Amino acid sequence: MSEPRSTEPGIARTRLASKVIVVLGASQGLGASTARRLAAEGAKLMLAGITVDRGEQLAASIVESGGCAHYCRADLKDPDSLARLMEQAVAQYGRLDGLFNNAADMSLLAADGDAVEIDIETFDRTIAADLRGLFLACRFAIPKMLASGGGSIVQSSSAAAFAGEPTRVAYGCAKAALDALTRHVAARWGKSKIRCNSVAPGMMMTETAWRHADMLPLADILRRTASPRLGEPDDIASAVAFLLSDESTFINGQRLSVDGGLTISLGDPTPAT
């Protein structure tokens, strides 16, 4: 199994030139990798998350590479901080063209059981972080996009939204509802030039995944994947960059599975992420 490709591209492409994009969950993982790609495509970024030191380091590294990025702390559980985030993006850059709605509280997964056994507090906290927070981000971003003449929102979904699992009921419910939110935004504001789509990752070999590789059933997941390899952060970054760009202006209200064909497998339907 190969090590991940570099996620530090030079600032050379211009597909997203002049577009102002907010990236939630940018402090680490897929959010950080995607932020680097968007910057490499020429976007002006407002990075957001709750891990201040990592977020500021990412913004600094993008700037050092010739890109444009600022960091703003934002908490999905705090509506005021999300409202301030969108305000700050517009104050910094003068407009808002895109949002990568990528954030979830993965620490809750271990306690996310079935509908009978799950603790109600865990269910409520999962819905609050993985659905309500992203709903609020859309709520505050859409008026800014309308004032800017339109925009594109990309949300982080999951195979759990459409493949039944014996556990993780709260996570599955949150992601299924997030897909419904995606379709709602597309239907409500599509005529106003706002698009909303989602990406559903498969098994992505992030830094965290590599650190815990010995505890993950990677061989079995690879066996059930139609592609000859597992996913890498750049796979998600490429899909998000495309959906945020003007190359995808006739794509709206859709979910794109970026999973190497894992969810078309006739084997065990349990998703990898």
**DSSP state, residue 10:** -
Active-site residue identified among 71, 93, 100, 171 = 171
Full DSSP string of 39-105: HHTT-EEEEEES-HHHHHHHHHHHHHTT-EEEEEE--TT-HHHHHHHHHHHHHHHS---EEEE----
Quick one: angle between helices 133-147 and 79-93, nearest 10?
A: 30
* Per-residue tokens: 10: 């030079």
* 171 is known as an active-site residue: yes
- Secondary structure (3-state) at 75: coil
**DSSP state, residue 118:** S
CA atoms of 24 and 73, how far apart (whole Å)? 10
CA atoms of 175 and 187, how far apart (whole Å)? 19
Is 201:231 a contact under the CB 8 Å cutoff?
yes
Distance of CA 83 to the CA centre of its chain: 19
* Per-residue tokens: 159: 């195979």
* Per-residue tokens: 111: 């306690």
- Give the start-end residues of each E strand in 65-134: 68-73, 98-101
* Per-residue tokens: 80: 């005021």
CA atoms of 88 and 118, how far apart (whole Å)? 38
Task: Say which residues have a Cβ less than 8 Å from residue 75's Cβ, sequence separation at least 6.
Answer: 50, 81, 82
Number of other CB atoms surrounding residue 218 within 10 Å: 16
Catalytic residues: 171
